[in-house]
Amino acid sequence: MIRAVAECSKVPVIKHYKGVCHVYVDKDAQLSMAEEITLNAKVQRPAVCNAMETLLIDKAIAVRFLPSVAMRLNEKKVELRCDEAALSLLQTAPEGSKLALRPASDQDFFTEYNDYILNVRIVNGVQQAIEHINHYGSAHSDAIVTRNQAHAEQFLREVDSAAVYWNASTRFTDGAEFGMGAEIGISTDKIGARGPMGLEELTSYKWLGIGNGQGCGEDDLRRCRLADCAWPRRADRRTRSR
């Protein structure tokens, strides 16, 4: 229904679309932290929109990190759909035969599973991770795990999603977690509300101007000082209306 409304509408639509969320484990990540965030993001509640669907791993730490986290995911019955490099690494790893592995198709990386299925891709650094997310993701929630502040700041700045995290799970994208109380949905658009939406995000606002006789002209605007009038400001939330 959401897709049909978005495709047929002649005006912008605020929509809660699919959640193709990513966790990128950087070469400078604390690997024990990365494992915990990976497990939380995927298996704590796999059927929700902020659950991770693709795990991206820097090739520099893939040999140390991927087999270990794969075994922990296997304990939770997670099927791994891997790119060529990840599949080769896991198939030759000790106890790799115990894992539920499949080659990932290109379409898999666009897919929101809402299930115990996880895409895995090995990437060549933070730039390739960002490019993957911006191409395959749904602009919902994505995370980087790293101790490298420069890599984290680049990721936070360049990933074009409603919520982007540094060293935290994508599962935090939620109205209650953000202090909104009741959540209406999570917008993946940029017009109007973006990210978790509470009641306030569905309201509008108006501007209030309080003067003492001023008229408007170019010279008047240049001379107007806040000391002379409470010049136009946005009304606070108590005066907002639907």
- Where exactly are the structural domains of the chain? 12-187, 207-239
Q: Phi-psi bin for 229: left (phi > 0), alpha (psi -120 to 50), beta? A: beta
Count CB-CB contacts under 10 A for residue 195: 22
Q: What is the pLDDT of residue 242?
A: 42
Burial level of 107, CB count in 10 A (0-12/13-18/19+)?
exposed
**Which residues of the chain form beta strands (DSSP E)?**
21-25, 52-58, 79-82, 101-103, 117-123, 141-145, 163-166, 185-187, 195-197, 207-210, 230-234
What CATH number belongs to 12-187?
3.40.309.10
- Dump pLDDT digits (tens) for 163-182: 999 999 999 998 888 888 77
pTM: 0.83
3-state secondary structure 108-129: HHHCCCCCCEEEEEEECCHHHH
Query: Residue 207 above 50 pLDDT?
Result: yes
